[in-house]
Every structure is written in structure tokens, then in C-alpha cells.
Chains A and B, each alone.
Chain A
Amino acid sequence: MIVKIKDRRRSLEACTESGWDAVDLLTEEPLSDEDIESLRKFEGSFLYLKQLKKPFFKIEGHNYVIKGVKGDPFFRFAVHRDHVDEIDKLVDMINRTDR
């Protein structure tokens, strides 16, 4: 992923991911196709709906879900409450990736 994560905020829609914790990871630049494709390396199913007005992507792993929209300066990371530490690992992994 080219774009770095600069900050995080608690998801305002915590209830939607009922029983899970969700944060919005704020990026330095709006998400591009390259950024989104680079997320394929994370374990889990990959969905990318390119035909939408603003394309939507989702990676669903065993204990986490990453989702977002192309062009937004953030994406959402939802994690099961027993695996909250995965958030820090994900951020590290993204920020360490070659740019």
C-alpha cells in the first residue's frame, strides 16, 4: 500500500458491527486502485465492486473485516472483540509496506 495511515478514530457505526470493535483508519491520501489492490495480501476473501458510483472493497478474514470505498481518505477495520490487538498489527503492516 502506498498510502500511510496517519490516524484512527472509533467507528461511528459501532452498533452496525454488533459485537465487534471497528475503527476508521485515516489515510494521508484518498484511496486509489493500487492501494485497494495491495490489500489483497491480507488473508481472507476479497471483494471489489468496481462498477459502483464509488467502488467498494472488502477483505474478510477469520477475525477481521477491512472495507472501504475508492477515493475516500479512510477505510474501516472491524475486528472481533477478542482480537482487538489485530488493529495495531494491521496498521504496522500497512505502514511498513514498500512504497
Chain B
Amino acid sequence: MIYLNNAATSYPKPESVIKAYTDALRSLPSGQFRSAGVSDNADSFSLCRQRLGRLMGIEKWDRIYFSSGSTEGLNALIAGLGIRADQVISTVTEHNSVLRPLYNLREDAGEPVLLHCNENGMVNPELFEAEAQQGRAKAVILNHCSNVTGAIQDIKAFGEIAKTYGLIFILDVSQSAGCMAIEADESNVDALAFTGHKSLMGVQGTGGYYVREGLELKPFKYGGTGLDSRKIRYDGTDYEYEPGTQNAPGIAALAEAANWILEQGIDKIRAKEKALSDRLIGGLSSMEQVKIYGSGLSERGPVVSFTVRDLAPSDLAYILQNSYGIVTRAGLHCAPLIHKFIGSGEKGTVRAGLSYFNTEEDIDALLTALKEIVSSIN
């Protein structure tokens, strides 16, 4: 089976990550403050935070908190910052892990302002500035890299505007962390959410969020933390953000995954994935019946969305998987609003999500299959 669904979850993982996970399971558990802390895993949490800080350009890595993934991280940020939805500027490129909390977490909180994107999925920062100037918003939430078109937003521009107008800047790096440089501090990012199991090469059920020092975040989860069990009520200045036993083997794996990425080098990973997506787009462009979404992007993440004329995306993905053994994903990709703007409509697209472990042969196999499919329809 050829796996081209890495934008959903990456596969395979580096061997060292698998080893780190199984080693953690075989070792005595880390205490996580709850016992004598007999295992070396007691340090893997800090190690993981440090490495993630390096990957995401965050100096205060101790302000990175673990969660089950981006979804929980975004919910924690959106709920915890105490902002009404109608005080938020976001975009039509967002994933449901941003849209659904905004529209559902609080009743009578109004609706966010959603900035439109162009046919490639790019959001013009000037639109953001025009909206920020209105003075109504307190925060902006931005998807760094579209999981549909691969469009990479200009986070430096967004960060400058957010800073100018005093908006909290929240960045969703689910698709970008681990496959491209993220300069969070330099871009005035106040908070971000990340997931461990996509380009960060960790396991499902890991991820987290960052919130800068000085930004008040009220948790929406409370429980045991292994620190001062006598404290039942927090006074608002001493919240703890990792209640409950954390996914220690997952965090150990994520620590190793971050190390693997640092050792490979982000630039090298980016270059390889770019070469693969360029190869794919080059081949798709030669097929007149194929439409590529985001074809006008000068740079993109490792995601390529396309459709074949006269064939529903769900059928195309079904054929690719069951007739040709190539795994992709079809549909709206949990980003329901972008499709109107990029022209993919109600049925969405077929998406190839590439990883560092994909090969030219994988791309060529997909192109060969598509040529046969297109030919059979004609």
C-alpha cells in the first residue's frame, strides 16, 4: 500500500520514535510527581518541551503544555482566554477544531468575523488589518498551513498587525509543525496549538499548546497534578495546565520525534517534500481533466488537493485505494468553508498528504493510476 494521507496522520514513523515509545512502555513509569520518579522518563517532558520550542521558535519552552492534540489545545485556548466568538477574527481556511469551538463553546457569544481567502487558499493580511482597525476584535486565530491547499499564510504580517492593534494572535500549526520553520516569537505569536502525529512524527493522542507568559488562560480541565493536593480552588494566578496523568510514552516518543526532525534538519525535510509535491503537481498539470487546487501558490506545505472531471472525489479516492492500493483522503477535510472559495464545491477534493518518507516512486504510481482512471472515463 502506498500511503499518501500524511496530512491526516503520518506513516511510517522513524524507527527511533517507535523505539522510544516501546522503551517507555517497558520502563518503570516516570513518576510525573506522583511517586519517587524511578524512571529516566521523568526528564522526557522537559526534553520534549525544549525540542518543540526549538522547532517552533519559542524561547519560553516551559510555557508549552501537553494535550491530546491540536483539537484539545485549540479548545483550551479558545475557552480559556475568555473571548467571545464575536471578538475573534479568523478565516475561512480554518479547520473544524477552530470553527466548532468558536461556534459552540459559548452560547450567545455571537459569531467570529471570517476573512475570505483567494482561489489558492491565501488570506490577504490587508483584509485582516481592515477588520482589526474596526476595534471590535480581541483575538485573531489563523491556520498557518491549509490542510486543503497547502497555502502557507504570512504569519509575520499577521503578527505585526495583531501587535499594532492589540489583538491576541493564536496560531494553528497542525499542518506546519515539523515540516517547515515556524518563528513563533519573531512573529508575535501569543499562543499556538500543535499536534504530535502529523509532520512532528509522533503518535496519535499527543500534542499541546503554547501560551506566552503574561497571558491569562483559565483551564477548562481540572484534576490531579501531583503538586499540592491540598489546593482545591485556584486563585487565578496559579492555574495548572496538565491535570491528570499525561501520555508519558507518547511524550517520550514525541521528544524523540522532535529530536529526529532536528537531526534531519527542517530545511532538508522541507526541500524533499517540496520536490515531491512539485513532481506531483507537474504530473497532474499534464492531465487536462485534472484540476489542482492551490495551483497558483508560490510555496506550499506538503499537501496537494485535486479532482478529476466527471468523477466524484469520494469515488476517485475509493478507486485509488481499492483498485490501486494508494491511500489518499477525499471530502471536505474537516475544513468546510474553504471549498466555496477555492472552487471545489460541496464534494470537496482528493488530497495527497506527503511526508519525508514518501518517494518519487510513490508519486509516479499515483500519476500512473490517475492516467488510467482519466483514460477509462474518457
Contacts and interface: CB of A to CB of B under 8 A. Distances in A.
A72 interface: yes
B377 A76 contact: no
Contacts of B324: 52-54
A40 to B, nearest CB: 18
Contacts of B201: none
A93 interface: no
Contacts of B373: 49, 52
Given A16-B314, A17-B314, A18-B348, A52 B319 contact: yes
B368 to A, nearest CB: 10
Interface residues of A, number: 20
A56 interface: yes
Interface in A35-86: 49-56, 58, 67-69, 72, 76, 78
B204 to A, nearest CB: 15
A78 B318 CA distance: 13
Contacts of A18: 331-332, 348
B315 A53 contact: no
Contact of A51 (B317, B322, B376): B376
Given A49-B376, A52-B376, A16 B330 contact: yes
B369 interface: yes
Contact of A56 (B313, B318, B332, B348): B318
B361 interface: no
B334 interface: yes
B348 A51 contact: no
Contact of B322 (A15, A17, A50, A54): A54
B315 A58 contact: yes
Given A51-B372, A52-B372, A69 B317 contact: no
Given A18-B332, A49-B377, A56 B315 contact: yes
Contacts of A17: 314, 331
Contacts of A53: 323-324, 369, 372
B139 to A, nearest CB: 29
B375 interface: yes
Nearest to A70: B323
A56 B376 CA distance: 10
A15 B323 contact: no
Contact of A54 (B315, B323, B329, B330): B323
16 contacts: A13-B317, A16-B329, A17-B314, A18-B332, A18-B348, A49-B373, A51-B372, A51-B375, A51-B376, A53-B369, A54-B323, A67-B318, A68-B322, A69-B318, A69-B322, A76-B318
Interface of A: 13, 15-18, 49-56, 58, 67-69, 72, 76, 78
